[in-house]
Every structure is written in C-alpha cells, then in structure tokens.
Structure 1
Amino acid sequence: MNPRHAVLSACSAFYGIWLSQNPSITGLVVTAFLVIVMVLQIRKKSVYILVFLPIFFIYSQYDNTKSFSKLPEEQMIFTGKVKSIPKIDGNLLSFELVTFDETIVVHHKIKSADEKDQLRNLRINLTCTLKGKLQEPRRNSHFYGMDYREYLRNNNIYWTLRTAEFDLDHCKEADDPSVLEQINTWRSKSIKELESLFSKNTAGLMNALLFGYRDGIEAETLQHYQGLGLTHLLAVSGFNVGIVTYFLYLLLVRLGVVIEVAYTLIILFLPIYIVLTGAESSIIRAGMMGMIVIVIMMFRRRVHPVTLLSFVCIGMLSYDPSSALDLGFQLSFLMTFVLITSVYVLENSSAIVLLIMTSFICSLFSFPIILYHFFEFSLLSIPFNVIYIPFVSMVLFPISFFILILSLSVPKAILIVKEIIEYLFNFSVLFMEKAQFLKMSIVLGRPDHWIFVLYFVAIVYFLYKWEISKRISIVITIPFLLICFIHWGLPYVNPKATVSFINVGQGDSILVELPYRKAVYLIDTGGSVSFDQEDWEKREVGYDVTKEVVYPFLKARGIRHLDGLIITHGDLDHAGGGEFLLDNIKVNNVFLPLKQTENNIETLIQTAATRNNINVVKLAKGMQWESAHTLFLVLHPGVKESTSNNNSIVLWVKVYDRTFLFTGDIEEEAETEVINSFPRIKSDVLKVGHHGSMTSSTESFLDSVSPRYGIISAGENNMYGHPALEVLKRLRERGIFIFRTDQHGDISFVVDKAGLKVITAQ
C-alpha cells in the first residue's frame, strides 16, 4: 500500500472517532478540510480511504451503546480478583477489582496502623470478598480539569466502591491462575522487590523504566519531568522494545539457536513483555510493530515503516475506539510518525545533529497537544531532551535492567553497587530540580479548537518546506510564530469580561478578567483545611486546592500575571493558597482588609509579598478605582473592628452595565453595616456570604441588594451543612437564580455591552 494512502487511512479512522466523541463546528470544518486534502492526494480508485472516517464514526457510536455497567447499584457484597497493584497512601487503600467480568475501583479507608500493616500483604490476583456501596465516579467539576468519569469510562470502568467492610482474611490465592495472572503476579513481586532494595525515588524510576509502573515515583519528581517536557521518558516505548529484543536476539544466537527459531521465540516473548510493562498504548504499539517487523523479515518482505505504523494504528482503533482519546496513544503514534519521517530528512546528519533535530521536531509536533493538556510549554524541553534521552536510554535503563537481573539471580550483589546506583538516580533528579528555577515556561493557555488546528497546519507547512529546501529559514517559521502570537494576543482584543467562580470545595476563589485583558484580579485563593492525624494516616502528598485547581485554572486562561490578589480575610479556606501563588506567579499588588491586628495567614502573605517585592494595599470602606469599563468600589470593612468574618472585604464591581457584589464571609452584623452605608447599592450577581451559612444573607440584605443571580461557593457534602436550607429558601422566594459550586462546578459569567451569559462546568 502507498505509505501516503496508509497515513491518510489512519488519520481518517482516528478523526472519525474523535469527531464522534467531540462534535463541534470546528470539527466539521476540519472534516471538510481533511476530505479536501484526501481528494487532492488520492486517485479515484483509492477513494476507499475516505470511507474510514464514516465507518469509524459509526463504529465509535456503536461502541458507546455497549459501554454500560451490568452491576446493580443496590448491590452491597462483591467477590472478585484484585486486578491492579494495591496502592496505600496514608489511610487510603485503592485498587481495581474484577467482579462479574466488570472492573470497579475500590477505595478503602484504613482504620488503624495495625490494619495498614496487614493490608500491605494485599497482592494482585488475590480473590477477595468485600462489602460496600457503589458510587458513580465523580463528574468533572472544572472547566480545565481532568474528567475522571470519562477517563474510567474509556477504560470500561463505571463504578467506584466505598468499602464498609474489608479484611485480608476474606482474601485467598487463586486455585489455578492463568498465564496472564502469573505474569502479572511476577511483575508485581519484582516491583515490590525493587521498592524494598532502594529508596522510593530510585525504585520508582526503575519501575517506571522497566515495568511502566509510575505510582512509586515521588509526586515532586513527576512534576519536574512534566515541567521540562520529559514525561515520555518514563513510559516504556519503542526504544525499550528495541533494546530488549536486540539483546534477546544476541543471546539466542550466541546459544546456537537457529535464526528462524530465534525470531519465533522473540515473537512469542513480545506479548509477555507488553503485559510485563503495563500494556499502555505506547508499548502495545511498539510491541505490535516489533512482531510484525519480525514476521516480515522471516518472509523476506519489505513494508514501509509509515505503512506499518498506520496499520497498527487502525488495528488498535478497531479493537478499542476509545483509545483514540488517550493522550498516550496520541503522542505515541504522532511521535513515532515524526521520527520515521524525520529520518529521511536528516539521513546524512551526524548522530548529535540527528538527536538535536529529532528532539526539536518531536517538541514542535507535541507543542499543541502539550498546550491543550498542560497550558504551558517549557523552552528547556529541547535541550533537556537532547541530554536526557541518551542518559535515560543508554545509562538509567540498562542499569535498571542489570539490577533487575541481579535481584533475580544474585540479590546480595546489589549491596555492592547500591550506593552508586542511588547517587546516579538522585543526581539525575537533583539536576532536574535545579533546572526548575530557570522558569523558562511559556504560558499560553488552552488553545481553542480552531487555534489547535491552525497550529498543526503551520507545523506541517514548516516541515514540508524544510523537506523541500533541506534547510530551515526564518520565512518558513513565520506561520507557526504567527499562530503563537494570535494565541497569545486573543485575550487582549476580546471586549468581553469574564468573572469565574472557581470550584475550590469549601472555600472561595473568584477570577475577574476585565475587557481587553486590561487587568486581572483574583479574589481569594481557596485553601485546603487540614485535620490532626497520626503519622500513619498522613498522605504522601497533601491535597492543595490552590496548587491543583486555582493555579492550573489561571494557566489554562493564559494568565501570566495578576494585577491584584485580593484577600477578603485571613481564613484558611479563603487565603490558604496566598503564599504559594505569590511565590509562583507575578503579582503587582496584594490587597488585604484594613484592620489593627492580623492573623497568621495574613502575616505570611505580607511576608511573601515583601519577599517578592510586591506592593501591599490595605482596603477600607469608600476606596475605589477604575479600569477598562470597570469600576471597583470597597463597601467594607469600616473603622469598627469585629470578627475575622465580619472584617471581610466587600467589593462591588461594575463591568459595563452589569454589577457584581463579592461579600467574603460577612455575616448579619457586617451586612447591616453595608446596607446602612450604601442603601442604594444593587447587584445583578451576588456572591452569597459565608458559603450560604445561616448567619448570612438576611432578608433585609437580600431585599436591599436585589440580585438576579446568587452564587454559593461550598464543598460537596461539607461538614458544616452549607448552604443552609433557610438561606436557599430566602433566595428562591425572591426569584434569585441559584448557582452552586458543589452542584455546578466552576461557574463563569461572560459580560459584554449586550448583557451577561452564565456558563457552568456541570
């Protein structure tokens, strides 16, 4: 088959699935463009290529109709086999369980240190009986967050299970384990063995390189790899398959095995290797290509690598259409295609030039995908890929493989080389950690679909011109740089303002973006409330809502600096992430309430502001400022000192002809002061005070403000009972439209001269 036709066929199949799952105007436009390209590229007799798109579109729709659970929601007792390596983090045990031919994710809260020690013996493939309640996986409550429910659904998982009773005494070994189960058991034991021999990070990196198991790596190290665009090095891929296959071939030949028999043994080994390394998209792709290549060699045939790659892609999509939505699948095939095609462009280059240029091409092609998922791109990606690809491939991976062989044959010998191995792995992590301080990441935000498509058009144009001219010139980079500039500049030509109430659970965080991006203000940061726990209960990495939700939200919006960080008051759920943001994003001004005494959090924020040379402004009643069709007026606090909640900053904001009232955590006392001082203040949108607590939103206050919309920021099933039923009743009686972060997720109001529009994540 013509390689070009093969690639177009794979693209047609992939895009049919993608369009089925993401229907949009942009998708239809791209479909039309793809069809035009195909018509221009193929002959009439090859028009079958176009058929792949509708076939896979329909096939994906059909596959969705089969994607449903057969387990009844009311079922309470489950017996099944442990499918994944159990993970214990503090007082939480998680694993996948196969029951009635369906996989569920089990979450068990550990009750004591003794129970935790006992559960460390839980292993893959044990058959267990447990009692609990099925729950639907949580929906995506953020505009830019990972859709956990969709992720599980793409893996044919429809339920999570919260255990009521679970004991290791209710687990037993399988009587007659299958070959697949035996392989997985050996994989699990080997992972545990390395974890017992080396420090957490060293063992984690080894297990990632050998078995594709990344759960053991410290979260901070994973962030370092992600920040420098090196996470692909922690995925078992084609290089690993090539190295293992090559050494296995040499071993068999040295043992005197006939070449044809050696080929057959390698073909039989590769499926086992796929299972051993976690069976992710990249390793399945590499393993399948390896097996097909060997078969072709045995029959002395020749197939173009691009054709082979396209056939494997279509085969995997045929087996599981949802794999097209997997980031690993997308990057694996895209990068392999780029590497295959770049070899022909750089065939006469030296090894160093080839490494540099292939790293550059891979970084360029992955640029739009990385932006879409992570909102920023590191300029250090290319030089670090040049350094780390040979280092990981030629040093860390062979050493890890050698250590694995030692652990199986002469485990005591590891003690001789342990210190050197630890030093080598720790040095690689330390080097990456120091590089983070260079802060050479470009934050552009998540590209709209049409920008995303234009990026790839510009990249393909660049590579096409490079292939023809055999050199890189400034002229051929202009389209790509122009798209980057458009992406960067779009907010600055947008006349609309956006006010976003970010779902931070039991807390507040509100992002105000003015028209034409003249200024950006963040009102409160959210914050994770911690409780006293014993050492055994503590998670390895505590959840930080500012770091995990607010900061990514800012980056997704393409926000590189804040004109103002407004802290309404110093409670943890409003200001707990202030210090982190001041250390990680440029801020022009920090606004705090004017009062005589400050609490610890407010003091920490002022210290962080001083450390970063940021101006601190104390806000009090009557202060105001204007910017880009927007007026800010401070209604509170006054001169009277009160509780922390009643000293909250109350801010009235007018954008065009629409008004917003942000109330922090004020209660009845402060509400009375506000309406007495500003009796004619009205607001279209009211941020309901104190998360909808009974102590706020009095009838007189609501009557005075007369809002059309009431926004309640509260955590789902929070322990405080927010919002109070009485408050909800008051709001409904006045015809106020209620939006809640615990029910609607992120909530955004888009404001222009014509009015405002509400968008929610759920």
Structure 2
Amino acid sequence: MNPRYAVLSALVALCGIWLTKYQTITGIAVTAFLVIAIVLQVKRKSLLILFFLPCFIIYSQYDSKHSISKLPHDQMAFTGQIDTIPKMDGKMLRFQFDTNNEKIVVQHKMKSSIEKEQLNNLEINMTCRLKGYLKKPEQKSHFYGMNYQEYLNNKNIYWVLETRDFNLNHCQLTKKKDLQDKIKLWRSRAIQNIESQFSKNTAGLMNALLFGYRDGIESETLQAYQRLGLTHLLAVSGFNVGIVSFILYFFCVRVGVVKELAYVIIFFFLPIYIVLTGGESSIVRAGLMGMIVVLIMMFRKKVSPATLLSCVFLGMLFLHPAYSFELGFQLSFLMTFVLITSISLFRGRSYTILLIMTSFICSLFSFPIILYHFYEFSIWSIPFNMVYIPFVSFVLFPVSCIVLVLSYFVPEAIPHVSCFIEFVYGCSVTLLSKAQLLKGSIVLGRPAMWLFGFYFISIFYFLYKWEVNKRFHFQIAIPFLLVIFIHTITPFLNSKAAVTFLNVGQGDSILIELPYRKAVYLIDTGGTIPFDKEEWEKREEEFNVTKQVLLPFLKAKGIRKIDGMIISHGDMDHAGGAVFLTDHIKVSRVFLPFKQEDNDLELTIQKAAQQKDIKLTRLRKGLRWENDQSVFYVLHPGSNLYSSNNGSIVLWVSLYNQRFLFTGDLEKEGEAELINHFNNLEADVLKIGHHGSATSSTEIFLKKISPHYAIISAGKNNSYGHPAREVIERLKNDRILVYRTDQHGDITFEVGKESLKIKTAQ
C-alpha cells in the first residue's frame, strides 16, 4: 500500500472518531480541509480513503452505544477477581475489580494500622466477595481539570464501588489461572520483590522502566520528570521492545537456535511482554509493530515504515476507538511517525548531532500536546533529553534488566550491588532536583483548538522546508514563532472581563481578569485545613488545593503574574495557599484587611511578602481604585473591632455594566453594618457570605442587594452542612439564580460591554 494513502486513511479514521465525540467547529473545519486535500491530491483513490471517515463514525457510535454498564446501580454484593495491583495511599485502598465480565474501581477506607497491615497481603488475581455501594465516577469539576469519569469510561469502567465491609478473609487465591493471569501475578510479585530490596524512589523508577508501573515513584521525582519533558522516558515503548527483542534474538542464536525459529520465539514472546509491562497504549503500539516487523523479516517482504505504523494505528482504533483520547497513544504514534519520516535528515550525521536532532524534533512535535495538557514548557527540555535519553536507554534500563535477572537467579548477589544501584539512580534523581532551581519554565496556557491546529501546521511546514533545503534556515521557523507570539498576546486582545469562582472545596478563591488583561486580581487562595493524622494514615502526597487546583488553573489561563492578591481574612480556607502561591507565581501586591491584630496565618503571609519584596497594602472602608471599564470599592472593614469572619474584606466591583459584591465570610452583623452605611448598595452578582451558612444572607440583606445571581462556594458533602437549607430557600423565594461550586464546579462570568455569559465546569 502506498505510504501516503495509508497515512491519510489513518488521519481520516481519527477524524471520524473525534467528530463522533467532539462536534466542534474546529474539528469540522479540520476534517473538511483534510477531505478537500485528499480529493485534490489523491483523486481516483480518494473515495477509497474517505471511506474510512463514515466507517469509523458509524463504528465509534456503535461502540459508544454498546459501551454501557450491565451492573444494576442498586447491586450491593459482588464476587470477582482483583484485576490490578492494589494501591495503598494513607488510609485509602484502591484497585480495579473484575466482576461479571465488567471492571469496576474499588475504594476502601481502612480503619486502623492493623487492618492496613492485613490488607497489604492482597494480590492481583485474588477472588473476593465485596459489599458496598456503587456510585458514578466524579465528573469534571474544573475547567482545566481531569475528567475522571471520562477517563474511566474510555477504559470501559462505569462504576466506583465504595466498600461497606471488606477484609482479607473475604479473598482467596484463584486456583485456575489462564496464561494472562499467571503473567500478571508474576509481574506483581516481581514489582514487590524490587520494592522490598531497594529504596522507594529507586524501586519506583526501576519498576517503571521494566514493567511500566509508575505508582511507586515519589511525587516530587515524577513532577521533576514532567517539568523537564522527560516523562516519555518512564514509559515502556518501542526502544524497550527493540532492546528486549535484540537480547532474545542474540541469546537464541548463541545457544544454536536457527534464525527462523528465533523469529518465531520473538513473535510469540512480544504479546507476553505487552501484558508484562502493563498493556498501556504505547507498549501495545510498539509490541504490535514489533510482531509485524518479525513477520516481514520471516517472509522477507518490504513494507514502508509509514504504512506499517498506519496499519497498526487503524488496527488499534478498530480494537478500541477510545485509544485515540489517551495522551500516551497520541504521543507514541506522533513521535514514531515524525522520526520515521525524518530519516533523510538523519543520514550521515554523527552520533552527537543525531541525538541533538532527534531530541529537538521530538520536543518540537510534542510541544502543542505538552502545552495542551501541562500549559508550560521548559527551555531545558532539549538539553536534558540529550543527556537523559542515552543515560536511561544505555545505563538505567540495562542495569534494571540485570537486577531483575539477578533477583531470580542469583538473589544473594543483590545486597552486594545494591549500593551501586542506589548510587546510579540517586545521581539521576539528584540531577533532576538540582535542575528545578533553573528558571526555565515558560507559561503560555492551554492553546485554543484553532491555535492547536496552527501549531502543527507551522511545525510540519518547518520540517518540510528543512528536509527540502537540506539545512536549517531561521526563516523556516518564523511561522512557528509567529504562532507562539499569537498565543502569548491573545489574552491581551480580549475585550471581555472575566470573574471565575474556583471550586476549591470548602474555601474561597475568585479570579478577576480585567478587559485586555490590564490587571489580574485574586480574591483568596483557598487552603487545605490540616488535621492530625497517625503515621499510617498519611498519604504519599497530601492534597493541596492551591497546588493542585488553583495554580494549574492560573497556568492554563496563561497567567504569569497576579497584580493583586486580596486576602479577605486570615482563615485557612481563604488564605491557606497564599504563601505557596507567592513561591510559584509573581505577585505584585498583597492586600490584607485593616485590623488591630493579625492572626498567625496573616503574620506568615506578611513575612513571606517582605522576603519577596511584595508590596503590602491594608484595605479598609472607603478605599477605591479603577482601571478602564472597572471600579473597585472597599466597603468593609471599618475602624471597629470585629470577629475573624466579620472582619472580612468586602469588595464591590463594577465591570462594564455588571456589579459584583464579594463578601468573604461576612455574617449577619457585618451585613447589617453594610446596609446601614450604604443605603443604595446593589449588585447583580452576590458572592454569598460564609459558604451559605445560616449565620449569613439575612432576608433584609438579600432584599437590599437584590442580586440576579448568587454564588455559593462550598465543599461537596462538607461536614458543616453548608449551604444551609434556609439560605437556599431565601434565595429561591427571592427568585435569585443560584450557582454552587459543589454542584457546578468552576463558575465563570464573562462580561462584555453589552453581554454577560455564564460558564460552568459541570
């Protein structure tokens, strides 16, 4: 098959699947452009290629229609088999469970250290009897957050089981195992064996390279790999398949096996290797390509690498259309395609130049995808790839293979080599941790879909011109640099203002973006309230709402500087993330409430601001400032002594013709003072005080403000019972439209000169 036809067929099939799920204007435009290009370029063969479009649209619709759960939602008793390695994190135990030929996610909250120690003996493939309640996976609650429900649905998982009663006596080893079960069990025990002999980080990295199991890597190390664009090195891929196939072939030949039989052995071993390394999309792609290459060599046929890759691509999409939405699948095929179509650029190059070119080209093509998922890129990505690709490929991976062999055939040798192994892996981690001190990350934000398309057009143009000219010219990079420039300035061309109420759980955080992004203000940072925990309850990485929700949101918006961080008052759920934020993003000014005496958290924020030369301003009643089309007016606190909640900064903001009132944790005493001092106080959008507590939002206050919209920031199923039922009833009686972060997720008000648009994450 002509390589060009094969590649176009694969692209058309991908468009068919994506259009079925995401019927966006950009997607329709890209598909139309592709169809026109095929008709004009391919002509007579175009109908054959375009057949894949309706074929995969119909097939993906059929697959989606039949990808539904067969379990009744009220079922409470389940018998089945543990399908993944049980993962313990603090008091939470998670694993996938196969029951009635359907997979579900099991979540069990352990009650004691003794129970945790007992359940630590759980193994993959155990048959268990479980009782509990089925619930739907969490939907996406942040504009740029992970959609856990969609992630599981793409794996044909539709339920999460929260156990009611579960212990080790409910499980027993499965007697009858097929080959796949035996391979999974061996993999699980090999992972545990390595974890028992090496430190957590060394074992985690080793298991990632050998088995594609990354759950054991320390979070800081994993984040360091992500920041420098090195996570692809921790994924089992084509290189691993190539090395393992070569070792197996070399061994077979050395023991006297004929070449043809060696090919057969490799062909049947590769499916085992796919299961052994976790069966992720990248290894499935590499394994299938390896099997086809072996067949081609056995029958002495010639097939273009592009044709081979496209056939595997189509085969995997036919097997499971949802593969196309996985980041690993996208990067794996894209990088492989780029490298095999750039062979002419690599001919006659020295090893060093070849390494630089491959690192550069891979980094360039992954650039839009990395931006889409992580919102920033590191200028150190290419040099560190140049160092780490050979280091991981020719040092860490072979060393890991040797350790695996020794652990089974000469286990007594492991203690003698463990110091060396720890030193080698420790050096790699130390270098990465030191690299974090380098200031090289550039935040651009998530590109819009039209920009995403232009990125790839400019990159393909760059590579095409480079190949045609046989040398690099700066002029061919101008379109790509122009797209980056457009991406950077796009927010500053937006005439609309935006006010976003972030879902930070039981806390507050509100982002205000002025028109043309002339300034960015953040009211409160959210904060995770710490609780005393026993050692066994502590998670590997405790949840930090500012780190895991607020900071990624700012990066996704392309925000590199906060002009004003307004701390309404010093409670942890409003100000707990302030110090962390000043460490990770530039803050020009911090605003604190005017008061007689600061609490410990407010004093800590002051100290952090002083250390970083951030201007500190006290806000009190009567202060105001304004920009074009925006006015900020401080209504509270005054000169009186207040409790913590009633000492909250109350801010009235006008954006174009829309008026917002932000009340912090103001309670009824503070509300009464406001309406007594400001007779004409009104607002279109009211941030309900104190998370909708019954101590706030009195009837007289709501009547006076007369808002059209009310926003309640509260945690889902919070222990305080917020928002109070009587507050909700008051708002309904006054016909005020209510938005809640616990029900709607992030909430954004886009304010134009004569328009108002409300968006929610759910």
> TM-score of the superposition, structure 1-length normalised?
0.99
- Match status 1:50 vs 2:75: no
- Residue 464 (structure 1) shift: 0.9
The equivalent of 2:647 in structure 1 is: 647
Distance in 2 of aligned mates of 1:438 and 1:220: 16
**Is 1:87 aligned to residue 59 of structure 2?**
no
Q: Tell me whether 1:504 sits opposite 2:504 in the alignment.
A: yes
User: Deviation of residue 46 (structure 1)?
Assistant: 4.5
Q: What residue is the counterpart of 2:537 in the other structure? A: 537
1:266 aligned partner: 266
Q: Which aligned pairs between 1:624-643 and structure 2 lie closer than 5 A?
A: 624-643=624-643
Map of 1:108-257 to 2, 5 A cutoff?
108-257=108-257
Task: Quote the Cα distance in structure 2 between the aligned partners of 1:416 and 1:99.
Answer: 44
Q: Displacement, 1:745?
A: 0.5
In structure 2, give the amino acid aligned to 1:122. L
Deviations 1:385-418 (A, max 9, x none): 1110000000000000100001011111111111
The 3-state SS of whatever aligns with 1:617 is strand
The answer for the alignment partner of 1:318 in structure 2 is 318
Q: 1:264-303 residue pairs with structure 2 within 5 A? A: 264-303=264-303
**Residue 259 (structure 1) shift:** 0.6
Aligned pairs for 1:340-379 within 5 A: 340-379=340-379
Q: SS in structure 2 opposite 1:530?
A: coil
1:553 equivalent in structure 2: 553
Residue of structure 1 in register with 2:660 after alignment:
660
How far did residue 4 of structure 1 move?
1.0
Q: How does 1:430-449 map to 2 (within 5 A)?
A: 430-449=430-449
1:45 deviates by 3.1
> Percent same amino acid at aligned positions?
62
2:39 and 2:46 in contact (8 A); partners too: no
Q: Does 1:732 align with 2:732?
A: yes
Q: Which runs of 5+ in 2 are unaligned?
A: none
Alignment pair present for 1:104 and 2:112: no
1:224 maps to amino acid:
A
Partner letter of residue 472 of structure 2? I
Deviations 1:505-563 (A, max 9, x none): 11000000000000000110111122222111111110000000000000011101100
Amino acid at match of 1:241: V
Q: Which amino acid aligns with 2:609?
A: A
Q: Residue type of the partner of 1:677?
A: H
Deviations 1:688-730, CA, capped at 9 Å, x for gaps: 0000000000111111111110000001111000000100111
Q: Following the alignment from structure 1 to structure 2, what is the Cα–Cα distance between the partners of residues 197 and 701? A: 65
**Retained in 2: the 8 A contact 1:137–1:159?**
yes
Matched letter for residue 254 of structure 2: R
Query: Which residue number in structure 1 is paired with residue 414 of structure 2?
Result: 414
The 3-state SS of whatever aligns with 1:74 is coil
The amino acid across from 1:516 in the alignment is Y
Q: Please, what is the CA RMSD of the aligned residues? A: 0.8
CA distance in 1, matches of 2:125, 2:298: 37
- Supply the distance in 1 between the matched residues of 2:700 and 2:429 (Cα, whole angstroms): 59
Secondary structure at 2:580's aligned position in 1? helix
Matched, 1:752 2:752: yes
Structure 1: which amino acid aligns with 2:76? M
Q: Distance in 2 between matches of 1:462 and 1:53?
A: 28
Quote the residue 2:718 is aligned against.
Answer: 718
Q: Which residue of 2 aligns with 1:305?
A: 305
CA deviation digits over 1:3-25, x for unaligned, max 9? 11111111111111111111111
Equivalents in 2 of 1:677, 1:642: separation in Å?
Answer: 16
Give distance in 2, aligned partners of 1:14 and 1:27. Answer: 11
Corresponding residue for residue 679 of structure 1: 679
Does the 8 A contact of 1:570 with 1:644 survive in 2? yes
CA deviation map 1:641-687 (0-9, x unaligned): 11111100000000111110000001011111111121211100000
User: What corresponds to 2:481 in structure 1?
Assistant: 481
Deviation at 1:470, TM superposition (A): 1.0
Q: Per the alignment, in what secondary structure is the counterpart of residue 103 of structure 2?
A: strand
2:462–2:477 CA contact under 8 A, matched in 1: yes
Residue 253 of structure 1 and its aligned partner are, at CA, apart by: 0.1
2: CA distance, partners of 1:339 / 1:324 = 20
The code of the aligned residue for 2:449 comes to: H
Q: Quote how far apart the aligned CAs of 1:50 are.
A: 1.2
**Which range is displaced more, 502-511 or 604-613?**
604-613
Displacement after TM superposition at 1:242 (Å): 0.4
Query: What do the CA deviations read for 1:474-494 (whole angstroms, capped 9, x no partner)?
Result: 211111111111111011111
Mapped partners of 2:395, 2:342: distance in 1? 25
Letter paired with 1:484: I
- Partners of 1:634 and 1:651 within 8 A in 2: yes
> How many pairs were matched up?
762
User: Which residue does 1:381 correspond to in 2?
Assistant: 381
Query: 3-state DSSP class of the match of 2:437?
Result: helix
User: Partners in 1 of 2:441 and 2:497 — Cα distance?
Assistant: 26
Cα deviation digits, residues 359-409 of structure 1 (max 9, x gap): 111111111111111111111111111110000000000000100001011
- Matching residue's letter, 2:484: C
Q: Answer whether contact 2:509 2:523 (CA < 8 A) is retained.
A: yes
After TM superposition, give the deviation of residue 434 of structure 1 in Å. 1.1
Amino acid at match of 2:390: P
CA contact (8 A) 1:143 1:761 kept: yes
The residue matched to 1:269 in structure 2 has which SS?
helix
Q: Is the 8 A contact 1:658 1:755 kept in 2?
A: no
Counterparts of 2:386 and 2:34 in 1: how far apart (Å)? 34
* Contact persistence 1:13–1:314 (CA under 8 A): yes
Q: Secondary structure at the match of 1:43?
A: helix
Q: Is the 8 A contact 2:38 2:46 kept in 1?
A: no
1:477 alignment partner AA = A
SS at match of 1:138: coil
- SS of the counterpart of 1:522? strand
Alpha carbons 1:342, 1:358 under 8 Å: kept: no
Distance in 2, matches of 1:45 and 1:305, equals 21
Q: How far has the Cα of 1:40 moved from its partner?
A: 2.9
Counterparts of 1:138 and 1:436, CA distance in 2: 33
CA distance in 1, matches of 2:484, 2:523: 29
* Alpha carbons 1:208, 1:234 under 8 Å: kept: yes
Residue type matched to 2:507 in 1?
G
Q: Deviation string for 1:440-495 (max 9, x for gaps)?
A: 11111111111111111111111111111111212111111111111110111111
Q: Which residue of 1 aligns with 2:453?
A: 453
2:683–2:707: 8 Å Cα contact kept in structure 1?
Answer: yes
SS of 1:94's equivalent in the other structure is strand
